[in-house]
Each structure stands twice: as structure tokens, then as C-alpha cells.
Chain A
Amino acid sequence: DVKVTQSSRYLVKRTGEKVFLECVQDMDHENMFWYRQDPGLGLRLIYFSYDVKMKEKGDIPEGYSVSREKKERFSLILESASTNQTSMYLCASSPGGEQYFGPGTRLTVT
């Protein structure tokens, strides 16, 4: 079974803090993705990576950065958290085609 894990299920941070969300997959997938999910807006792609040290912007990259130093790990970084980044963050990995998701991190920025 594909396993995608995320470092936290729930996270509360203050405005201006630097936030790291970690994602690890154990299936040797080339592709990894970060989405955010908000009511009424569906899933929106923030960043993705198709290889180690490679990254590409998705639809809403502003305010975020990513890091992929190892194939199995893809990190999402909020350089200076803001209240409008309160959301559910979903990580996914893919061999090409279907994506396998982690359990999500519900981030609240106060």
C-alpha cells in the first residue's frame, strides 16, 4: 500500500511565523504535490515537484515555497504566515496518473 504521511494533523501558528509542513512518501514516486483545500474553492495546487531539487509553481504559489532535497520528502514552507493561509493542506505523491494523498494538515494562523 502507498503511504503518504504528513508531519501534523493540526497546527496552530501566529501571524508572521515561519511554518514548515512536511510530507513523506514511501513508494519511490517521482512526483509530489502540495494542495490547499478551502470550502467553496475546492483543491488548489500550490507547488509540485517531479524530481529531487526540482519544483514548479502551481496555481497559487504566492506566499509559499517548497523544498525537495530527497525523493521521499517534500516540504511546504510558509515564509511569514498570514491569516488567509488558514486552510487544510494536502500532500500527494504520484507515479504518473493517479495521486495518493496524505491525511492532511489543518493549519490555523491566528
Chain B
Amino acid sequence: AQKVTQAQTEISVVEKEDVTLDCVYETRDTTYYLFWYKQPPSGELVFLIRRNSFDEQNEISGRYSWNFQKSTSSFNFTITASQVVDSAVYFCALSERETSYDKVIFGPGTSLSVIP
């Protein structure tokens, strides 16, 4: 069965520290997508990244980086030199192709607080 686990419910860091958000997934399929979304206090979920199951290259975008490892079914997200604006709830998600659409399973989210 599909499942996304984000074991860290809440994390607090001091500004400029690095922080890694963990994501572990379960799926029966060989073809799937993984995503990260950010939900700031304003409430709107913002899409950050998509990774397909055939592409295990790590990705870096500014202070953000993602580490995808199929061997451990993990897709971890690291924020380098955290800033107060990074305070948000972060969701990891998994999608598999159903008959007519991509069914997305969201993890429970990790609430990140960056303290100035």
C-alpha cells in the first residue's frame, strides 16, 4: 500500500543552522513521483520539487537540496543556512498513476520553526 511517513512532527532550529526533513515512502509501483510542498502560515501550499522514480540524482536549488535514495525509500529535504522565512509546514508526497489521474498521497507534514 502507498504510504508516506514524515517522522519529525515539529523541528525548531536557530537561524543559519542547517536542517534536514526526513521522508520515507512505501509503494508497490516501479514508476512513481515524489514531491515536496511548503505551507507557510498564510496557508497556501506551494509546490517545491518533483522527482520521478527513475531519476536518483540529487538536486540543489539555492539553499534547498533534495536527496533521493531508492535503496532506502527516502526523499529527504535539506535547508542550508535556514532563515525565518523558511518557517512553515513541509509536506512530502507520493503519486502513482491510477486509471484516470495521478493519485497523490501526502505525508502528515513536518512543522519547521526557525528562531531568529
B 57-116 contacts with A by CB, 8 A: 91, 95, 100-102, 104, 106-109
Interface residues on A, range: 20 to 34
Q: Given that A42-B109, A98-B47, A98-B50 are contacting pairs, would A103 and B100 also be in contact in the complex, using a CB cutoff of 8 Å?
A: no
Among A17-25, A61-69, A76-84, A89-97, the one that faces the other chain is A89-97
B33 touches A101 (CB 8 A): no
What's the nearest-Cβ distance from chain A to residue B68, in Å? 15
B44 touches A43 (CB 8 A): no
A101 touches B106 (CB 8 A): no
Contacts of B45 in A (CB 8 A): 90, 92, 101
B106 touches A98 (CB 8 A): no
Contacts of B42 in A (CB 8 A): 103
Contacts of A110 in B (CB 8 A): none
Contacts of B104 in A (CB 8 A): 45, 99
B44 touches A103 (CB 8 A): yes
Question: Whole-angstrom distance between the alpha carbons of A59 and B45 in the complex?
Answer: 20
Question: Whole-angstrom distance between the alpha carbons of A101 and B91 in the complex?
Answer: 13
Q: Which residues of B contact A (CB under 8 A)?
A: 33, 35, 37, 42-47, 50, 91, 95, 100-102, 104, 106-109
Q: Which residues of A contact B (CB under 8 A)?
A: 31, 42-43, 45, 48, 50, 56, 88, 90, 92, 94, 96-104, 106
For this complex, 28 residue pairs linking A to B, each with C-beta atoms less than 8 Å apart, are A42-B106, A43-B91, A43-B106, A48-B101, A50-B100, A56-B100, A56-B101, A88-B43, A90-B45, A92-B45, A94-B101, A96-B101, A96-B102, A97-B33, A97-B50, A97-B102, A98-B33, A98-B50, A100-B47, A101-B37, A101-B44, A101-B45, A101-B47, A102-B44, A103-B42, A103-B43, A103-B44, A104-B43
